[in-house]
Structure 1
Amino acid sequence: MASVHFSRALLAPRHWLTWVGVGVWFLVAQLPYRLQLAMARGLSPLLRKNKKRLHQAQTNLRLCFPELSDAEREILLKETLFSTAMAVFETGIAWFWPKSRLRRLFTITGVEHVEQARAEGQGALLLSLHFTTLDIGSAMLGQHVNYDGMYRPHANAVYDYLQKTRREAYCKGGMAFSRDNVRAMVSQLRKGRMIWYAPDRDLGEKMSVFVPFFGVQTATVTATGQFARMGRAKIIPFTQRRLDDGSGYAVTIHPPFENYPTGDDIADARRVNEFMEQEILKCPGQYFWAQPRFKTRPEGEPSVY
């Protein structure tokens, strides 16, 4: 679980273009926040060129919001594309802004729920979900909560180094370890640590049960309840929302789940999906719809994509 360290191999010529891109990203991140919002709004139509992601987003919105008209779903799609474009700028803010500047951009409520768990000497899974604001929300959370996190290693060595080290910098002493490192997660939970965890990805039928998500039978991982049980930990959800007036963000730490896990994988998975549904409905355009959330289908059902 030790932090990765910079090595001379990262300066090899094959990585030079990536470093140039990182430099540009850093400079853009220093621009005024509202200018970055405007740039994201202007660039978002370009995301329509990624036909695969566009189709996934359109399909997911059609399945999850069948009550909306085509025109209403198109408005929601435009907001989704904007939020997806803004995620690049928000990640730059999360990685490259000093903490003092970031503090001026958000408010946070519910910290007492984490403090209560800490006072009881109990670890917790900080249940998150894949809003496009994922990285900036985690950085803002780190200003008030000391936690570790899980991440997906990247094939690009420079990007992998940056995402791990920058995410570990969100809070003092924080560690980021591979999402496959179950032993590390359980060990940290039993030590009373807080662990960032977002289970809303399709990881296949082997690791999941099918429960509704916006009315669609969805492969939902059972690991949330299993980790809570093995780590003797609470489930404390948190979310973040980009404010409509462009002034910043509201971060909310929610009360812990009660009577969780129950030992019933289906009931526990449904509980997680219900929470996610209610939070997504507060800002549906900020959820990352351009993912194959419904790739795994129940036996006999055709692919939706």
Structure 2
Amino acid sequence: MPQRLAASSQRFSQANAIRWFWRYLSRWPLGRLWRFAAWLGPQVYRLSRRERRITNANLKVAYPQLSGHERKALAHDSLRHSTATMLELGHAWMAEPERVALGILAVHGREKLDNARAEGRGVIILAPHFGNWEVLGFWLSSHFPFTAMYEPPKMAALDPVIRQGRMRMGAQLVPTNPRGVAGLLKALKRSETVGILPDQDPDWGSGVFAPFFGRDAYTATLLPKLVARTQARVVTGVALRLPGKGFEIHFLDADERVYDADDVQSASGVNASVEDAVALAPAQYQWEYKRYRKTVQEQQKLANFRDYRIY
């Protein structure tokens, strides 16, 4: 019991320190945040073996045509941008809303959302881990009734901070379970906007394998279920960072395969849509995420094990 109490106290102290750090950084101008990220990113590359290894491995899959030197340079840039995203959380969640809004310098493709809603359709935003997705969420919830799925962080003491930051402009958060899916369906049937992270690794049974930068990645199958039941339009949305200056919001037409009733075809369209967004600025994608964690071979082993248990 004393050990558990000590561990709980330590986590609470860590969460308070992180919250204080975000609050402190929320007062910084974006130019200063970027200069800090530009200095800190190379230190992350040098000192964090995990991030360095995964980033380089993913870039080798995605851009085999690049030389080793070019991939290393791209990996350095990627970790600068990922570091900037973490430093900018205070800006997105805690800075005065007027200041966050002023940092959004342009919005491209808004008519895709307006036209869909004028037709009485809901809109599903595919929001990959690109640029600053929290700034994208800020803009969406400032302009539309917006609902997104939310999974509490492992550090539970940070949950209130993140919830408050994401909901402060009116967004609704629903859990990552059947109740949350029902919440998304209701929002879409009201012709509202919902957000989905298309590049997370779903649990077994909740996805299919589909190509992502030429290699099969286990991809969630939630999207075709939502589209089939609501006839919603699907749009890819990102907040592109203009280093030291601000952000540009881009809404892109999703690959037409996302509307296919076949799960594999729809998932292929989702991944192609993410690829189109990444093409805007490859260094701004979060390449340190283990997108290829699950494999077809592992799926087959699980299936064989289940068959064995049945008999």
Length-normalised TM-score, structure 2: 0.85
Change (3 A) 1:67 1:14: closer
Matches within 5 A, 1:245-260: 246-255=244-253, 260=258
Question: What is aligned with 1:56?
Answer: 54
CA contact (8 A) 1:57 1:290 kept: yes
Shift of 1:255: 3.9
Shift of 1:80: 0.8
Q: Segments of 4+ in structure 1 off by > 6 A?
A: none
Change (3 A) 1:114 1:300: closer
Question: What is aligned with 2:302?
Answer: none
Question: What is aligned with 1:131?
Answer: 130
- Asked if 1:164 is matched to 2:168, the reply is no
- Asked if 1:86 is matched to 2:90, the reply is no
Question: What is aligned with 1:145?
Answer: 144
Shift of 1:81: 0.8
Question: What is aligned with 1:285?
Answer: 283
CA contact (8 A) 2:185 2:230 kept: yes
Question: What is aligned with 1:113?
Answer: 112
CA contact (8 A) 2:144 2:192 kept: no
Change (3 A) 1:256 1:82: closer
Question: What is aligned with 2:240?
Answer: 241
Partner of residue 74 from structure 1, selected from 63, 72, 75: 72
Cα distance in 1, alignment partners of residues 212 and 257 from structure 2: 21
Aligned residues: 288
Shift of 1:110: 2.0
More helix by share: 2
CA contact (8 A) 1:113 1:256 kept: no
Cα distance in 2, alignment partners of residues 57 and 17 from structure 1: 27
Cα distance in 1, alignment partners of residues 112 and 137 from structure 2: 17
CA RMSD of aligned residues (A): 2.3
Runs (5+) with no aligned partner, structure 2: 1-8, 300-311
| CA deviation profile, 1:75-96 (whole Å, cap 9, x unmatched) | 1000111011101122111011
Counterpart residue type for residue 125 of structure 2: L
Percent identity of equivalent pairs: 24
Question: What is aligned with 1:99?
Answer: 97
Matches within 5 A, 1:194-205: 194-205=193-204
Cα distance in 1, alignment partners of residues 273 and 218 from structure 2: 16
CA contact (8 A) 1:127 1:237 kept: yes
Cα distance in 2, alignment partners of residues 257 and 215 from structure 1: 16
CA contact (8 A) 2:198 2:271 kept: no
Shift of 1:144: 2.8
